[in-house]
Amino acid sequence: MAEGTDDRALPATEELDLARRALDSGDLAHAADHVAGALARAPTLPEVHETLAQLAAASGDGGLGLFPLQHQTFIGAVVARAHLLAAAGRPAEGLDLLVAATANAPGADWAGVPWVTSPELAERIGPDQAARVLMQVCAAAPDPVPPADRAALAAYLTLARNAVTVHPEHSLLLGTASALARRVDEVPLAVRWASRSVRAAPSKMGEVWLGYALRSAGRTREALAALRRAVDHDPDDLAVYADIAGTLADHGRLDEALGWIERALARNPSFDCAVHTAHRLRFQRDGDVRHLVALADFIRDNPDDSHEHGDLAECCRGRPWLGQLTPAAPAAEEPEPTGIKAGPAARELEPTTAETGPAARESGAAAAEAGPTADEPGPVTAEAATLAPVARPAPPSAEAARRLRQLAHPAWPHPPAAYDAAVALATLDLPDLLGLLAHPPEAPQTALGRVLADQDPTLWVRCVQVWTCLGLLHHRTDEPWADSTRQRVLVGLARGAEVTEAALFALVTAAWVDPAVRPDVARLVTERLTTVAEAARERPVPVAASLAHLALATPDLDPGTRALARSLAGVPGGRQRGRLRALLRRLLRPLRPRIPGPPMP
């Protein structure tokens, strides 16, 4: 369904004026186009519906032939056809089209017209049809619906009220009405309708609807009881087990939650809801990233899950490198020595004035482009790389800078999602990518760019570095990883000074999406973290905490290195991290809370 971005930009009043002119001249096809345009902009305006009725009267088939359904149909034409179907005595078909429009553009009040909100409609379509329509609305709507979009669903809630009034004992209708009411924050009404549904005809779905409504009302004990009754109705519906586990975990009862999810996995170890919930709860229990990596592997190997899950993003949200980058930490705010024994490599990670200035950025990127010398092994190893200096990279092309500005952001759902997003840089050549590192473009003139410029300009440069290095992962992907340009360049950058963190994050991300590279990446991360720990024994190292968090995000890291990373990451440094969290709260819209189980209830 096309939303109407096809160069239509006229206000509804102008579309109506053109429609009337075309209608007066007998050009019904052009009149229909303009009526559709007016409906797309003002779907409840009475004058639009009056003109649509005139157009229907002038045609030979009630106007339906003027608004055919095709593979791609303008949304205004879909809505026009819905109203004409209702006028022709086929309101159920019209409702189906309105729901489709709502799913396509949920912020518009497509159904807010008299024939939908009339009590007579509920009598005409019957309870089963009304329940089916409400199911479709619930399937199309997020849970909960954002406050700004709730008014657009008011007509459907009115339909639910009318239908429940006419059919007060229809269990399925009451349950679906409860589901819609809960989504638009009519929680007491949702509880009443769900309770009536269970009394009318006890069933698994009735108990699920009641459990969800009670949970939204904060009545957790009663909600869990309802969900347990749902399990009694159907012990094989493992989505309900996941619901119970998620509810228990949300209220601090993690051991009970894990017990329920283990029961589900014992019945079906590959059931997607149970697997997602299990890995999320295990991560909540011990904070070990291996659970999230295992979940990412499951998602990659099972792309046809029953519905969308948000467990991986929920676990990664707000966590350094799992869901956002860390801010640059000034040396003055670095931790005191941690007691880790120093070694000969302790000075390697101590930035000098030259290493942290523009010259270091240039030489690091240039060295990465040059690649290893003949003495350096190709794959990732524990030995330090010796890179030959070359000329400074040229500035990036305007197109490269444009793409980077559109992409760069200080947060992402999880590492595989960041990898997927960075494909937008896949067609840039290597000089452009290195040019972005050596010559970071200015922040975009957007809300994000302005906030970064005002609050923390260095954060934008780090965004550029992170997303450019992620873009390098998509460079020449036809080359086998061990001998690839992308691996060689990123390893060189990771062993430099200026973009160490960004390059390491890209390599860690590669390990998330490709299990074959995990041993090499884990060795490199161990090498860098060990060097940092030795340096931190003698002097503050600005990147220590950040690299420790990177290590904690690395797949297949050995237990000793993970313990070392925990030690480094746990050292105070809260002012910088707290400032970033506050900044990200301003930048990021609230994400939809996780609603376990199937998407409909």
With H, G, I as helix, E, B as strand and everything else as coil, classify residue 557: coil
Instruction: Return the pLDDT at 392.
Output: 78
pLDDT-based confidence at residue 498 (cuts at 50, 70, 90): confident
Query: In 10 A of CB 165, how many CB atoms?
Result: 11
Q: How far is CA 418 from CA 324, 414, 515, in A?
A: 10, 6, 17
**pTM (2 decimals)?**
0.76
The runs of H, that is alpha helices, within 151-200 are 154-166, 171-183, 187-200
| AA letter at 551 | A
Q: Calculate the CA 451 to chain-centre distance.
A: 22
DSSP letter for 362, please: H
Q: Which of 138, 191, 462, 121 lies closest to 320, judged by CA? A: 462
Q: Do 279 and 270 meet the contact criterion of CB atoms below 8 Å apart? A: no
Name the token pair of 502.
């960004």
**Residue appearing with tokens 């609807």:** 209
Helix (H) / strand (E) element for 16: namely helix 12-24
User: Whats the size of the chain, residue-wise?
Assistant: 601
Q: How far is CA 377 from CA 319, 366, 383, 450, in A?
A: 34, 19, 9, 44
Asked whether the CA dihedral 143, 271, 259, 204 is positive or negative, the reply is positive
Averaged confidence pLDDT in the chain: 85
Q: Do 153 and 102 meet the contact criterion of CB atoms below 8 Å apart? A: yes
**359-353-443 Cα angle (round to 5):** 55
Mean pLDDT of 19-34: 95
Name the token pair of 39.
């409906």
- Residue 301, judged by CB atoms within 10 A of its CB (0-12, 13-18, 19+), counts as exposed
Kindly report, residue by residue over 416-468, the tens digit of the pLDDT.
Answer: 999 999 999 999 999 999 999 999 999 998 888 888 777 777 889 999 999 99
Distance CA 151, CA 158 (A): 11
HEC string of 408-431 equals CCCECCCHHHHHHHHHHHCCCCHH
- Residue 380, judged by CB atoms within 10 A of its CB (0-12, 13-18, 19+), counts as buried
Query: In 10 A of CB 532, how many CB atoms?
Result: 28
Distance CA 11, CA 452 (A): 36
Our CA dihedral for 280, 472, 545, 382, rounded to 10 degrees, sits at: 100
Q: Which of 479, 552, 557 lies closest to 524, judged by CA? A: 557
Kindly report, residue by residue over 200-221, the tens digit of the pLDDT.
Answer: 999 999 999 999 999 999 999 9
pLDDT-based confidence at residue 592 (cuts at 50, 70, 90): very low
With H, G, I as helix, E, B as strand and everything else as coil, classify residue 320: strand
The beta-carbon contacts of 382-389 under 8 Å, at least 24 apart in sequence, are: 382/523, 382/524, 382/526, 382/527, 384/348, 384/495, 384/527, 385/491, 385/492, 385/495, 387/492, 387/495, 387/496, 389/363
Q: Do 133 and 96 meet the contact criterion of CB atoms below 8 Å apart? A: yes
Q: Calculate the CA 415 to chain-centre distance.
A: 12
Asked whether the CA dihedral 293, 298, 301, 304 is positive or negative, the reply is negative
The mean-pLDDT minimum among 361-365, 463-467, 474-478 falls in 361-365
Kindly report, residue by residue over 92-138, the tens digit of the pLDDT.
Answer: 999 999 999 999 998 899 999 999 999 999 999 999 999 999 999 99
Does the pLDDT of residue 339 top 80, yes or no? no
Name the token pair of 66.
């003027």
- What's the first-to-final CA gap in the chain, in angstroms? 26
| Percentage above 70 pLDDT, the chain | 82
